[in-house]
Structure 1
Amino acid sequence: MNMSILNEINFVNNILKEEFDIKKNNKICIAVSGGLDSMVLLHLFLKISNILSLSIEIAHCNFSLRQLESHQDEQFIKDVCYKQDILCHIKKFNILEYSHKHKLSIQMSARKLRYKWFDKLIKANDYDYVALGHHLNDSIETFFINLIRGTGIKGLLGIPKKNRKIIRPLYSFKKEEILNYAKKNKIIFRYDSSNTNIKYLRNEIRFIISSFSPSIYYSFYKGFKKSINFLYQENSLIENKIYEIKKEITLVQTQDPFIWKIKCNKLQQLSSIYLFKLFFQYGFSNIKNIKKLFYAQSGKQLISNQYRLIKNREELILIENQIFNLFKHKTYIITNLNVKNMLLPISIQFIIYAKKINIEKMITRQKILFIDFEKVQLPLKLRTWRKGDIFYPLNMTGKKKLSKYYKDNKLSLLEKEKTWILINGNDNIILVGNRLDNRFKITSTTKTILGIISS
């Protein structure tokens, strides 16, 4: 049997391959726009769902870019779902507002919003996969778009067949095979008028390829499939090498929250291509700037849309911006010393001792910091450091800038932002991490003691 012809048998054989790994009783959401590709994909899954005992649902994105057409697409999907008795998830997006806010093109905005929503659907509905209708032609067009813009091997691979829980089961089939299947099975679908507008680069590439003579057209697709297979193999070799390099350069890596600490001296030995491979996915593509960071002073950083790369002594720290910003410029008000039901960033407890206690004995039993209670003024505040903060470190003479104190104690920029400061009602610093301010120490005149337990 010719495996390049799209039919139910070839489709089943394709999705059962290791690269897709669809199994019986999987729960699959089909992303359906209403166009040819997604309607054929839906038809195929419905045809074979009984064979594999698949649970099928539909997701439709309405970007409202074509006004009446967009509304009609949505209604068309609703009608299909009603007739087939399929659960349908529909999401409307204000894409123009998102595009303007994030300074992205309409196409890039649509892509980001769509995949972000798919991730939410996967988590909320426990889908095994979300299936998209991309096919061989889409991958070829992406190949040329990336080639024109400049790319490496990964960009030349076109659209991936599978990316975690996003799959593209029509990846190996040509557009004409999909159209032939739709005609043979009398599948009704919607036409997207924007697909013929050659102001879009993808449409212009599509028009050029469609103008090839039949003999060139056939050879082109056959050769492209071979080339993609070779590129996949070569990319696999590179990815394996990158994996080995990551193991060698990594000091610490955590996923929740995402923090990656990297040895600077190991990075300095790597060529530019490996540095690009390591950091491009995090939004850092300027290799010269990355190399300058190797020799920069602690605290210097590079910032991308989602991540920041921070120099800290002999290491680099990669962290998500949203995690970093959780600590920055946050203030929590403590109105009373009973903090049991307060939502605070750290665990903290206050204990009042009405008379003198054996402090040395208490310290050996648990980690308690003791201050003069009569100097405490409510409300207290918990926050991270600010430029110009000054305190009087216990057992030291005079005052010290907090920035200098952090530098002397070799705290990284991330550690500075994670260190919580307890502030008195008169704005004097009481506690920096576990270091007390001298102004609140216990003296011979202290009558009441406040114990502080924090972690």
Structure 2
Amino acid sequence: MVNNSSNYFLEKIKKDFSFEKIKKICVAVSGGLDSMVLLNLLLDILSIKKLEVAHCNFGLRKKESNDDEIFVKRFCEKKNIVLHIKRFDTINFSKEKKLSIQMAARKLRYDWFNSLLKKNDSCGYYIALGHHLNDSIETFFLNILRGTSVKGLLGIPKKNINFIRPLSYFTKNEILHYSKIKNINWRLDSSNLETKYLRNKLRLALNGFYSSFPLFFNGIKKTINYLQSDNFIIEDKIKEICENITIEKNYDPLIWKIQYKKLENLIPLSFYLFKIFSPYGFRDINSLKSLIYSQSGKYIVSNKYYILKNRNHWILFSNKKLGKKWKNYTIQNIKKFDKNYFPIKIDFSIQLKKTNDYYSNNNHFFVDFEKIKFPLYIRTWRNGDYFYPINMKGKKKLSKYYKENKYSFLEKENTWLLINGNNNIVLVMGNRGNRLDNRFKITEQTKKILEIKI
């Protein structure tokens, strides 16, 4: 049912959003009906100084896309609104990332919006999007078709961090009616009529359904509200469980130590495993269950995270921790050494040998400087690395050294090596202790000493 009052829009939006706390809103404007109505509504609520516009030109409709850009540009010039325009090579991006055109456009759009938020420090700066109730209903049914949990039935959120959707309560017909009584000009996107997209097919099917059941929108609003309440209870329970199973949790990068044995008692186990670990990309429930009963050292991998079984606990960590595996940190000159640049706290000094009383300990080492070749490197281990551990006979593969000393997968990846210019290991450095290579120890023939403090 269409509400005939134009004040209805303003009153509802003002009730739902505290505009007094908002420093600036950047409205995403395509030039279509929804975004143009949203922009005009916000012009009635906020001063020009608090408004900006962001327009994406995906170049998918050639002249029509460029005409949309010109339309938005002229409107902003007339109203004296700051305008941001971004043109994208959407087709090549979709091929490069192996995404559908729609998903590629969505990623490009939100990546750009997030860059605008970052540029403005996100504090009091919001991106306003033109999503409305029909969009939420379409998302509701699309997720049902694909298979979803309660969360997938909640529609599109009214607010999500710095993204707001002031039209989310209103139907498409209400928005269209508002544009007519306010004489708002807008442009039709011809791609919305193409039936090759699943969302468009669903939209056309639902349009007929809306007209046959006028009370449908009231019913769906109630259903979504009930589902939001149910989801709040579920999310609160998941939060409680996560706190209960957590031994330690650090961020940037993420390292989460988990008492996995407490997971076994959760009923239904599959449901809780999915709710807890799917946000990290772990959706294969059988793999998660198998990890509970596997040997220490086993792990599973998602796109961005690992879960490692380490003795009596799990460690979930970002693969950013592993991104440094092939990175070399170069030390060209000890005198110009910038210790703040390196991933481990290490300091060097050079001195003449005065006595034979130089004793290395776990964090303080003395090596024969004449055996050092520059540049030195700091890196993590690689297959084939070996060294001659001090106080041991012969050489040892680093992989075997780690295994004998029961290094976990994560500990191995976070143990740094000081590498000589001839590619020999000088020093193994890590939380499990530091170990000097026997080839670099001080002898009676040593004349100059390199002192290393970790």
3-state DSSP of counterpart to 2:306:
strand
Distance 1:244 1:405, change over 3 A: same
3-state DSSP of counterpart to 2:202:
helix
Distance (Å, rounded) in 1 between the aligned partners of 2:210 and 2:183: 28
Q: Does 2:89 align with 1:94?
A: yes
Distance 1:65 1:302, change over 3 A: farther
Aligned partner of 1:146 in structure 2 is: 143
Checking the alignment, whether the CA contact within 8 Å between 1:59 and 1:90 is kept in structure 2 is yes
Checking the alignment, whether the CA contact within 8 Å between 2:331 and 2:337 is kept in structure 1 is no
Letter in 2 for 1:444: E
Q: Does 2:10 align with 1:11?
A: yes
Checking the alignment, whether the CA contact within 8 Å between 2:348 and 2:453 is kept in structure 1 is yes
Q: Which moved more, 1:38-47 or 1:64-73?
A: 64-73
Letter in 2 for 1:331: N
Distance 1:309 1:388, change over 3 A: same
For structure 2, which runs of at least 5 residues remain unmatched after alignment?
none
Distance (Å, rounded) in 1 between the aligned partners of 2:84 and 2:241: 42
Q: Does 2:232 align with 1:236?
A: yes
Q: Tell me by how many angstroms 1:106 deviates.
A: 1.6
Distance 1:277 1:451, change over 3 A: same
Q: Does 2:399 align with 1:403?
A: yes
- Spell out the pairing of 1:16-415 with structure 2 (5 A cutoff): 16-17=15-16, 20-24=17-21, 26-50=23-47, 55-127=50-122, 128=124, 129-212=126-209, 214=211, 216-270=212-266, 271-321=269-319, 323-341=320-338, 343-356=341-354, 367-415=363-411
Distance (Å, rounded) in 1 between the aligned partners of 2:210 and 2:420: 80
Distance (Å, rounded) in 1 between the aligned partners of 2:272 and 2:198: 30
Distance (Å, rounded) in 2 between the aligned partners of 1:412 and 1:339: 35
Distance (Å, rounded) in 2 between the aligned partners of 1:440 and 1:26: 61
Q: Tell me by how many angstroms 1:8 deviates.
A: 4.2
Distance (Å, rounded) in 1 between the aligned partners of 2:22 and 2:274: 41
Q: Tell me by how many angstroms 1:120 deviates.
A: 1.4
Checking the alignment, whether the CA contact within 8 Å between 1:130 and 1:165 is kept in structure 2 is yes
Q: Tell me by how many angstroms 1:273 deviates.
A: 0.5
Checking the alignment, whether the CA contact within 8 Å between 1:61 and 1:91 is kept in structure 2 is yes
Deviation per residue, 1:27-46 (Å, 9 max, x gap): 11111111100110000000
Letter in 2 for 1:220: F
Distance (Å, rounded) in 2 between the aligned partners of 1:8 and 1:372: 83
Aligned partner of 1:448 in structure 2 is: 448
Distance 1:177 1:213, change over 3 A: closer
Q: Which moved more, 1:400-409 or 1:41-50?
A: 400-409
Checking the alignment, whether the CA contact within 8 Å between 1:339 and 1:349 is kept in structure 2 is no
Distance (Å, rounded) in 2 between the aligned partners of 1:207 and 1:9: 27
Distance (Å, rounded) in 1 between the aligned partners of 2:426 and 2:391: 14
Distance (Å, rounded) in 1 between the aligned partners of 2:98 and 2:381: 32
Q: Give the total of aligned pairs.
A: 445
Q: Which moved more, 1:122-131 or 1:136-145?
A: 122-131
Deviation per residue, 1:411-453 (Å, 9 max, x gap): 3323322221111122211011022112211233322211012
Checking the alignment, whether the CA contact within 8 Å between 1:259 and 1:318 is kept in structure 2 is yes
3-state DSSP of counterpart to 1:212:
helix
Distance 1:253 1:5, change over 3 A: farther
Checking the alignment, whether the CA contact within 8 Å between 1:6 and 1:173 is kept in structure 2 is no
Checking the alignment, whether the CA contact within 8 Å between 2:238 and 2:272 is kept in structure 1 is yes
Distance 1:135 1:395, change over 3 A: same
Letter in 1 for 2:193: T
Distance (Å, rounded) in 1 between the aligned partners of 2:247 and 2:92: 41
Q: Tell me by how many angstroms 1:79 deviates.
A: 1.1
Identical counterparts, % of pairs: 53
Distance (Å, rounded) in 2 between the aligned partners of 1:61 and 1:79: 15
Distance 1:267 1:97, change over 3 A: farther
Checking the alignment, whether the CA contact within 8 Å between 2:386 and 2:397 is kept in structure 1 is yes
Letter in 2 for 1:7: S
Checking the alignment, whether the CA contact within 8 Å between 1:370 and 1:451 is kept in structure 2 is yes
TM-score by length of 2: 0.91
3-state DSSP of counterpart to 2:60:
coil
3-state DSSP of counterpart to 1:30:
strand
Q: Tell me by how many angstroms 1:179 deviates.
A: 0.2
Distance (Å, rounded) in 2 between the aligned partners of 1:46 and 1:134: 18
3-state DSSP of counterpart to 1:230:
helix
Letter in 1 for 2:175: I
Checking the alignment, whether the CA contact within 8 Å between 2:38 and 2:167 is kept in structure 1 is yes
Q: Does 2:418 align with 1:419?
A: no
Distance (Å, rounded) in 1 between the aligned partners of 2:274 and 2:169: 30
Checking the alignment, whether the CA contact within 8 Å between 1:383 and 1:422 is kept in structure 2 is yes
For structure 1, which runs of at least 5 residues remain unmatched after alignment?
none
Query: What do you get for the CA RMSD once the two structures are aligned?
Result: 2.4
Q: Which moved more, 1:38-47 or 1:424-433?
A: 424-433
TM-score by length of 1: 0.91
Deviation per residue, 1:40-59 (Å, 9 max, x gap): 00000001114xx9711111
Q: Tell me by how many angstroms 1:367 deviates.
A: 4.2
Checking the alignment, whether the CA contact within 8 Å between 1:26 and 1:54 is kept in structure 2 is no
